[in-house]
């Protein structure tokens, strides 16, 4: 059926067979990669907290010798907040999954 469609669209028969075989092989590769994807284990996910809770947590664990500036604390808390949101939001996880796939394809 696919070969017939390709021929109707102007491909030579041999080219139509090659095109269909290439597309089917690509589909098999994509499906294999989707099946091979594994989500992060729960133990590796960043805890889901608010921005304020992250700032407080980072301040509380601040080592006096490190002398973290307020801007650094804010930056770190924003990064961990974003990671926590990605780890617990299914749509964000899908985006990360797709991005990871594109990196592997390149």
3-state helix, strand, coil split of the chain in percent (to 5) is: 75, 0, 25
Do 56 and 87 fall into the same domain?
yes
| Segments forming the whole domain that contains residue 19 | 1-36
Domain count, the chain: 2
Structure tokens at 87: 């780890």
Taking only the tens place, the pLDDT of each residue in 1-29 is: 889 999 999 999 999 999 999 999 988 88
Residue 81 has pLDDT above 90, yes or no: no
Taking only the tens place, the pLDDT of each residue in 43-71 is: 777 677 777 787 777 777 766 656 677 78
Do 16 and 63 fall into the same domain?
no
Angstrom distance (rounded) from CA 88 to CA 80: 12
Does the predicted model carry a pTM greater than 0.95?
no
Do 24 and 9 fall into the same domain?
yes
Do 3 and 21 fall into the same domain?
yes
């Amino acid at each position: 059926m696919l070969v017939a469609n390709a021929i109707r669209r102007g491909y030579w028969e041999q080219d139509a067979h090659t095109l269909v075989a290439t597309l089917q092989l690509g589909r098999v590769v994509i499906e294999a990669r989707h099946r091979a994807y594994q989500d992060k284990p729960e133990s590796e996910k960043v805890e889901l907290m608010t921005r304020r809770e992250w700032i407080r947590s980072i301040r509380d664990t601040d080592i006096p010798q490190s002398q973290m500036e307020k801007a650094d604390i804010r930056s770190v808390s924003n990064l961990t907040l974003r990671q926590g949101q990605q780890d617990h939001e299914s749509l964000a996880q899908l985006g990360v999954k797709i991005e990871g796939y594109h990196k592997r394809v390149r």
